[in-house]
Amino acid sequence: MTHVRGLLLASVAGLLLVGGIGSASADQLLTGSITSASGQKLEGVLVSAKKEGSTITTSVYTDQNGEYFFPAMADGKYQVWAQTLGFKTAKGAVDLTAARHQDFQLAAITDPEERIRQMPPEMLAAALPEETEADANIKRIFHNQCTGCHTPGYILQFKFDEAGWNKVINLMKFIPNYPSPDRKPNAIINFNQKELAAYLARARGPGETSMKFKDRPRPTGEAARVVWKTYEVPLNPDTGIATHGVKYNPNDGSDWSQGVTSRIGQLPHDGAMDFDGNLYYTVNAPNKVVTIGKVDGKTGEVKYLKVEKRDSSGAATAHGITRDANGDLWFDINPGRRSLGKLETKTEKISVYETPPPMSPLGGAVTMDVDGKGKIWASAPDGVVMFDPVTEKFTDFKSKTPFRNAKGTNSTYGAAGDRDGNGWWAQMAFDTIGRAEVATHSTSEVTLPSLKDEVARLPASSKAFYDSFDQLTNGNPLPWSQGPRRMGTDKNADVLWVGNSWGASLARIDTKTLQTTIIPFPDPSYQPYHIAVDQHHNVWSNMWTTDRLARYNPEKSEWTFFDYPLRGTEVRHVSLLERDGVTKVIVPLYRDSQMGAMTLRSEAEIAALKAQVAR
C-alpha cells in the first residue's frame, strides 16, 4: 500500500479576520421586542447582531410575546437588524457597554418583487404552477434538472420572457460539460426545452405570474429558541475577487432584501466542529492556498491548512469530512490521486493514506463516516472503501450494479458505516443502496421504489424517449427517480437513513432485514442532501435547495424545521456535536461563504435570561 505519512502542511499563516474579543471584555445581555407598524407583537422574527470589526454574527428569534433574548455577548458596538417574511428589514446600532433593550418596529412590504427577493428558494419553487398534468410534469423536470448546480432561488428571483428563458436553458443544459468543445446537452432538458421555457415565462416572465405563493408560519417553540452563530469565510483568492478589494461575499445572505447571491468564489463545502468548538471546512474548489479551513469558534479567526498537490500546482482539494471518537477529522484529499486524509485537531498534523493499485481511489461525491467499530468508510467511483486506522489497511467493496452500464454512468454518491461495522453507499441515478458485509466480504443492494405519481403522469409522447434513455447520471435523473444522496446511520440502532433528493423523502432501511420504508417530507419542494443521526435517534437533514434544516423524530413521526438566518445558503452537509448535554448543528453555508453553528436552547435557559433581565 502506498502510504504517505505526515505530509508537510506548508500551512499558510493564520489569517486574523476579526477584531479579537479581548478576554477582559465584560459580557452583556441584549434583549428587545419586535412589533408590526400596527403594534402587533411578532413571534419568530429573526434578530441578528454583529460586533464592529467582527466576522461573527449571532442570531436569535422572538418568542410568542415578540421578545428576543441573546446569549451574553462581549461589550462593544454592534450592528443589529430584524427581518421576517413580508416585512422590510429594520436596522439599528447599539453600544453594548451595559445590558441593552432594543426594540424594532417592522413595516410591511407592498412591492411584490421586493417580497419575492426575500423569499427562501423552496417557497419560490413550491409556488411554480402544477394544476394541470402538463404543468406538473414540467415542474418535475425543473425540480430535477434545474437544481443540479444551483439553488432555484437564484434563477427564480429574475424575470425573463420566453426567448430569455431559452437563452438561460441553452447555457444550463451544457452544464457540467461546459466549456468542453465536444460537449453534449443534457438530453432531458433538451427534450423538454420548448415546454420548459414557455412554462417559466408564464411563471417568471414580463406578464402576470402564474405562481401561487403560500405564506408559512414563522418559527415557534423549539425552532424559535435556537441561537445561530455564522462565521464569514474569505472568498477563493484564485478567482481574482480578493485582488479587487473584495475579501468576503458582498451579499452574504444576511440581508434577505438583497436576494440570493451569485456563486462568486465560495470555499466551504463540508464542515465539522472539534471538541474545543472550532469549525473546519473542506475546500473542493481549485485554489493555491487551502485544503482545510479552520475557524476559531471564539474569535472567528480563519487559518488555512494546506497540502500541496504533487505537481506543485496548488493546494490539494477536499470534499467530505467526518469526526472520529478522538475528535480528529477524516476527509478525502486529492494531491494527485484521490486519497484519505486525517487531521489531528490538537496538532494540525495532516496524514494522507492512498489506496493501493489496482484498488480504486476514493471518488464520486465523496462522503466520509466512522462506523461503530472505529473504521473509516468513504465512497469510491465503483463502490466503497473501508480503512482500518490501527492496521492502516484498506478494504474495497464493489457495487452489485456496475457503475457504468446500458442506462448510464453512476459513481457512488454518499457512504456510511453502521454500528456493526458494515458499510453502505448510494448509486443516486440508479436508485440503489449498496451494502458491504465485512465478515463475508460480500455485497448486496436495496432498490428504492419509483415515484408512481410521476410515472402515471408521464405524457404518452415522452414514453419512447424515456424508454430508450441511456444517459443516467447523478445530476440527470429520470422524472420518477428517488435520487438517494448522502446518508447516515443510527449508531445506537440498526437503522440507515438516506436522503432522497429527487423524491423529497427519507428512506429508512433496517440494517439487519433490509426492510425499507419511504417517509415523504411535508413539502415536495424540499430536497434532502445529507443525513446525520443524533444520540436520541433523531434524523437531521440539510436541504440544499432550501434555507431550512430538518429534524425528524421517528418515534413520534414528527418533523421540526429550523430556518437558517441567511438566504440562498445551498448547504451540502450537516454534522453534529453532542457534548455536556448541549447539541450543536454545524452546516457550511456554501453559497453565502460562511460557516454556521446552531445551538439548541431549552425553555429553562430562556427563562433564566428573562430572570436576569428582570433583576
Query: What per-residue confidence (pLDDT) applies to 316?
Result: 97
Is residue 46 within 8 A of residue 83, CB to CB? The reply is: yes
Kindly state whether residue 375 falls inside one of the protein's structural domains: no
C-alpha cell at 347: 496538532
Query: What per-residue confidence (pLDDT) applies to 343?
Result: 98
* CA distance linking residue 157 with residue 176, whole number of Å: 22
What mean pLDDT comes out for the span 260-271?
90
The DSSP element (H or E) to which 225 belongs, if any, is none
Question: Helix axis angle, 133-145 relative to 187-203, nearest 10°?
Answer: 120
What mean pLDDT comes out for the span 413-441?
96
The DSSP element (H or E) to which 202 belongs, if any, is helix 187-203
Is residue 89 within 8 A of residue 257, CB to CB? The reply is: yes
How sure is the predictor about 14, in pLDDT bands with cuts at 50, 70 and 90?
Answer: very low
pLDDT in tens, 551-567: 999 999 999 999 999 99
Burial grade of 448 (CB within 10 A; 0-12, 13-18, 19 or more): buried
What values do phi and psi take at 140, rounded to 5? -65, -40
How sure is the predictor about 243, in pLDDT bands with cuts at 50, 70 and 90?
Answer: low
- DSSP codes, 510-532: ETTT--EEEEE-SSTT--EEEEE
Query: What per-residue confidence (pLDDT) applies to 411?
Result: 87
Query: What per-residue confidence (pLDDT) applies to 600?
Result: 95
What mean pLDDT comes out for the span 570-593?
96
- The contacts of residue 474 (CB under 8 Å, 6+ apart) are 365, 410, 411, 413, 428, 429
User: How many percent of the chain have pLDDT more than 90?
Assistant: 81
Kindly state whether residue 199 falls inside one of the protein's structural domains: yes
Query: What per-residue confidence (pLDDT) applies to 7?
Result: 34
* CA distance linking residue 378 with residue 368, whole number of Å: 5
What mean pLDDT comes out for the span 402-425?
92
Kindly state whether residue 60 falls inside one of the protein's structural domains: no
Do the bridges between strand 27-28 and strand 30-36 make them parallel or antiparallel, or are there none, so unpaired? unpaired
Query: What per-residue confidence (pLDDT) applies to 282?
Result: 98
Do the bridges between strand 495-500 and strand 329-334 make them parallel or antiparallel, or are there none, so unpaired? unpaired
pLDDT at 284 over 50: yes
Domain span at 182: 128-203
* CA distance linking residue 11 with residue 500, whole number of Å: 38
Kindly state whether residue 439 falls inside one of the protein's structural domains: no
- The contacts of residue 337 (CB under 8 Å, 6+ apart) are 354, 361
What is the b/e burial string over 539-568, where b = at least 16 CB atoms within 10 angstroms of the residue's CB?
Answer: bbbbbbbbbbbbbbebeeeeeebbbbbbbb
The DSSP element (H or E) to which 508 belongs, if any, is strand 505-510
* CA distance linking residue 139 with residue 195, whole number of Å: 10
C-alpha cell at 336: 494527485
Kindly state whether residue 162 falls inside one of the protein's structural domains: yes
pLDDT at 293 over 50: yes
* CA distance linking residue 382 with residue 434, whole number of Å: 11
What mean pLDDT comes out for the span 227-250?
85
Alpha helices in 19-98 (DSSP H): none
pLDDT in tens, 400-409: 998 888 888 8
Is residue 543 within 8 A of residue 150, CB to CB? The reply is: no
More confident residue, 200 or 148: 200
pLDDT at 29 over 80: yes
Residue linked to cell 447539541: 583
- DSSP codes, 95-150: E-SS-EE--EEEPBP--HHHHHHTS-HHHHHHTS--SSHHHHHHHHHHHHHTTSSS
Using CA atoms of 86, 87, 89, 95 in order, give the dihedral in degrees to the nearest 10: -130
How sure is the predictor about 15, in pLDDT bands with cuts at 50, 70 and 90?
Answer: very low
Is residue 50 within 8 A of residue 79, CB to CB? The reply is: yes
- DSSP codes, 546-610: SSEEEEEETTTTEEEEEE-SSSS------EEEEETTEEEEEEEETTTTEEEEEE---HHHHHHHH
| Chain centroid to CA 447 | 25
How many domains does the chain contain in total?
1
What values do phi and psi take at 456, rounded to 5? -65, -35
What mean pLDDT comes out for the span 265-283?
95
Query: What per-residue confidence (pLDDT) applies to 404?
Result: 86
Letter for the amino acid at 395?
A: T
pLDDT-wise least confident of 18-27, 127-136, 476-485, 582-591: 18-27
What mean pLDDT comes out for the span 7-14?
31
Kindly state whether residue 146 falls inside one of the protein's structural domains: yes
* CA distance linking residue 502 with residue 144, whole number of Å: 6
C-alpha cell at 491: 449508531
Residue linked to cell 434524523: 539
How sure is the predictor about 11, in pLDDT bands with cuts at 50, 70 and 90?
Answer: very low
The domain that contains 192 carries what CATH number? Answer: 1.10.760
pLDDT in tens, 104-123: 999 999 999 999 999 999 99
Is residue 557 within 8 A of residue 529, CB to CB? The reply is: no
pLDDT at 241 over 80: no
Torsion sign (Cα): 153, 539, 394, 306: positive
Query: What per-residue confidence (pLDDT) applies to 366?
Result: 87
Kindly state whether residue 237 falls inside one of the protein's structural domains: no
Query: What per-residue confidence (pLDDT) applies to 176?
Result: 65
Residue linked to cell 442570531: 59
What mean pLDDT comes out for the span 463-468?
92
Is residue 170 within 8 A of residue 143, CB to CB? The reply is: no
Q: Please state, rounded to an integer, the average pLDDT across all residues of the chain.
A: 92
pLDDT at 39 over 70: yes
Query: What per-residue confidence (pLDDT) applies to 2?
Result: 38
Kindly state whether residue 169 falls inside one of the protein's structural domains: yes
Q: Which three-class secondary structure string do you get for 153-192? A: HHHHCCCCCHHHHHHHHHHHCCCCCCCCCCCCCCHHHHHH
How sure is the predictor about 21, in pLDDT bands with cuts at 50, 70 and 90?
Answer: very low
What mean pLDDT comes out for the span 364-383?
94
Is residue 549 within 8 A of residue 564, CB to CB? The reply is: yes
pLDDT in tens, 70-87: 999 999 999 999 999 999
| HSE value, Cβ hemisphere, 13 Å, CA-based, for 555 | 4
User: How many percent of the chain have pLDDT more than 70?
Assistant: 94
Burial grade of 398 (CB within 10 A; 0-12, 13-18, 19 or more): middle
Query: What per-residue confidence (pLDDT) applies to 566?
Result: 97
- DSSP character for 264? S
